[in-house]
Amino acid sequence: MGSNRPDSDGQKTIGAVLMKMMTVIALVILIVAFTAMLASKGINFLNPLNLATVAKHVAITAIMGMGMTFVIITGGIDLSVGSIVGLCGMVAGGLIRLGLPLDVFGITIYFHVWAIVLICLVLGVLIGAANGFLVTRLNVAPFIATLGVMYIARGIANILSGGATFPDLQGKPELGNTGFPVLGSGQFLHLPLSVWLMVVLLVIMTYVALKTPLGRHIYAIGGNPKASRLSGIRVEKITTYVYMFSGFCAALVGLIVSSQLVASHPATGESYEMNAIAAAVLGGTSLSGGIGTIGGTIIGSFVIGVLSDGLVMMGVSEFWQNVFKGLVIILAVVLDQANQKMNRRRAIAEDKGAKQVAQA
């Protein structure tokens, strides 16, 4: 070969860059389009109050999507997150409303809100650990394992209240368990707390992904599990961590949602897992494993959030919203495939060019 330094980052065509930025561009187009269309109806899409609402919705998808992203990068999938949202919400609601009755002693324990939050997060992590155990130790395919856990968790959420809602989760001062709604309604620097939680997780997880052995190992496992094992990576352990983390994220969302509603309903979080998967995929995470970024998932979450809120404000029916969401997801993946094909062609073309130069 003639030149031995074709800086692969340096000579990307504008087309390739545009392709890479595809999701960001789609997001900008969506925002501009909705702003324009809603302006004609006299609604300002970009007013701060509205943006805060959109951001709240985005945060829910994004927090679950980030947990999902790591799972998908290891080559797995986690269908149980939606049910974990429901179950953890119900557990939080039950502990606030009913406490923990210990019939043996004839007493009922009411926990402080902080303890309740902790219990729910631990519960999410444990459910994730169960997923991880099924996948890594009992060799159940991730799709099946988490599907089973999804049904189980949803079932238990319903059993806890007999299918009823726990309303009015303000807590009682005499029981010392007030303050739960703050998580959903609280603000810091004019932004909802859930958005800050999203930002904190984004920072931590991006650091983990890029700069720690754990992150490297997660990517490696998805790229080639056998080679990872031979490189000394504890594949079972790290895969389990990843499901545990996904369970943690889902539990957090469960708390946020029931806090926002100041009520918990057993059906909360149904089909949230699909939004989380969609956000990851829109953000460029490959379902075959090994590829994906946390930042991409955040952008994917924004696309989903802006799209559905925009459509709601346009007055589009929920049924049509689903149609649009489906189309956007498919379009994103089709474009991504086209992008990869283009990259391969370019590599071959460059190679041919180099050969011709070498021969001349």
Partner 1 sequence: MSQPMSDPEAANPASDPIILRCEGMRKVYPGTLALDDVTFEVHRGKVNVLVGENGAGKSTLMKILAGVESPSAGRITLNGEEIRYDSPRDALAHGIGIVYQEMNLFPNLSVAENLFANREKLKHPGWIDHAFEEAKAAELMHRLNQDIDPRTLVRELKVGQQQIVEIAKSLVEDASILIMDEPTAALSKSEVEVLFNIIAELKAKGVSIIYISHRMDELMRIGDFITVLRDGRLIDHSPMAAIDLHWIVKTMIGEDTDKLFRRVQHVIGETVLEVKNLRLPSETGRLTLDDVSFQLRKGEVLGLFGLMGAGRTEVLETIMGLHREATGEVLLEGQNLAGSDIQRRIKRGIALVPEDRQREGIIQTMSVASNMTLAGLWRIVTRHLHIGSQAEQDQVHQMIRKMSIKTPSPNSPITSLSGGNQQKVIIGKNLITLPKVLLLDEPTRGIDVGAKGEVFEIVNALAAEGIGILFVSSELMEIRAISDRIIVLSRGVISGEFPREEATEDHLVAASAKIHP
- Quick check: 219 binds partner 1 (CB under 8 A)? yes
Q: Among 226, 271, 315, 360, indicate the residue that binds partner 1 (CB under 8 A).
A: 226
**Min separation Cβ 265 and partner 1, Å:** 40
Instruction: CB nearer to partner 1: give 172 or 234.
Output: 234
Window 317-346: residues binding partner 1 (CB under 8 A): 344
CA-wise closest residue to 300 among 109, 46, 22: 22
- Quick check: 352 binds partner 1 (CB under 8 A)? yes
CA 276/CA 254 separation, integer angstroms: 14
Window 144-183: residues binding partner 1 (CB under 8 A): none
- Quick check: 41 binds partner 1 (CB under 8 A)? no
Q: Among 216, 270, 314, 342, indicate the residue that binds partner 1 (CB under 8 A).
A: 216
Burial class (CB in 10 A: 0-12, 13-18, 19+), 309: buried
Size of the site for partner 1 (CB under 8 A): 34
Q: Among 188, 232, 271, 318, indicate the residue that binds partner 1 (CB under 8 A).
A: 232
Window 247-286: residues binding partner 1 (CB under 8 A): 286
Find the part of the chain contacting partner 1 (CB under 8 A) among 59-67, 108-116, 165-173, 208-216. 208-216
Give the contact letters, 289-308, x = binds to partner 1 (CB under 8 A), - = no. xxx-----------------
**Min separation Cβ 226 and partner 1, Å:** 5
DSSP state letters, 68-101: HHHHHHTT---TTHHHHHHHHHHHHHHHHHT-EE
- Quick check: 44 binds partner 1 (CB under 8 A)? no
CA angle 197, 181, 205 (to 5 degrees): 10
- Quick check: 7 binds partner 1 (CB under 8 A)? yes
Instruction: CB nearer to partner 1: give 168 or 351.
Output: 351
- Quick check: 348 binds partner 1 (CB under 8 A)? yes
- Quick check: 211 binds partner 1 (CB under 8 A)? yes
**Min separation Cβ 46 and partner 1, Å:** 38
- Quick check: 212 binds partner 1 (CB under 8 A)? yes
Question: Amino acid identity, residue 149?
Answer: V
**Min separation Cβ 300 and partner 1, Å:** 19
Please count the residues of the chain.
360
Chain mean position to CA 165: 25
DSSP state letters, 227-286: HHHHTT--HHHHHHHHHHHHHHHHHHHHHHHHHHHTSB-TTTTTTHHHHHHHHHHHTT--
Q: Among 96, 121, 157, 220, indicate the residue that binds partner 1 (CB under 8 A).
A: 220
Cβ within 8 Å of residue 190, ≥6 positions away: 48, 52
Look at residue 327 and give its three-state secondary structure: helix
CA 297/CA 60 separation, integer angstroms: 12
CA 158/CA 219 separation, integer angstroms: 37
**Min separation Cβ 223 and partner 1, Å:** 4
192 forms beta bridges with 187
Q: Among 33, 337, 355, 357, indicate the residue that binds partner 1 (CB under 8 A).
A: 355
Q: Taking phi first (over 0 means left), then psi (-120 to 50 degrees means alpha), and beta for anything else, what does residue 77 get?
A: beta
- Quick check: 351 binds partner 1 (CB under 8 A)? yes
Range list of H helices, the chain? 14-20, 22-39, 48-73, 81-97, 113-136, 142-161, 182-185, 193-211, 213-223, 225-230, 235-261, 272-282, 294-314, 318-359
- Quick check: 139 binds partner 1 (CB under 8 A)? no
Residues that bind partner 1 (CB under 8 A): 4-9, 211-213, 216, 219-220, 222-224, 226-234, 286, 289-291, 344, 347-348, 351-352, 355
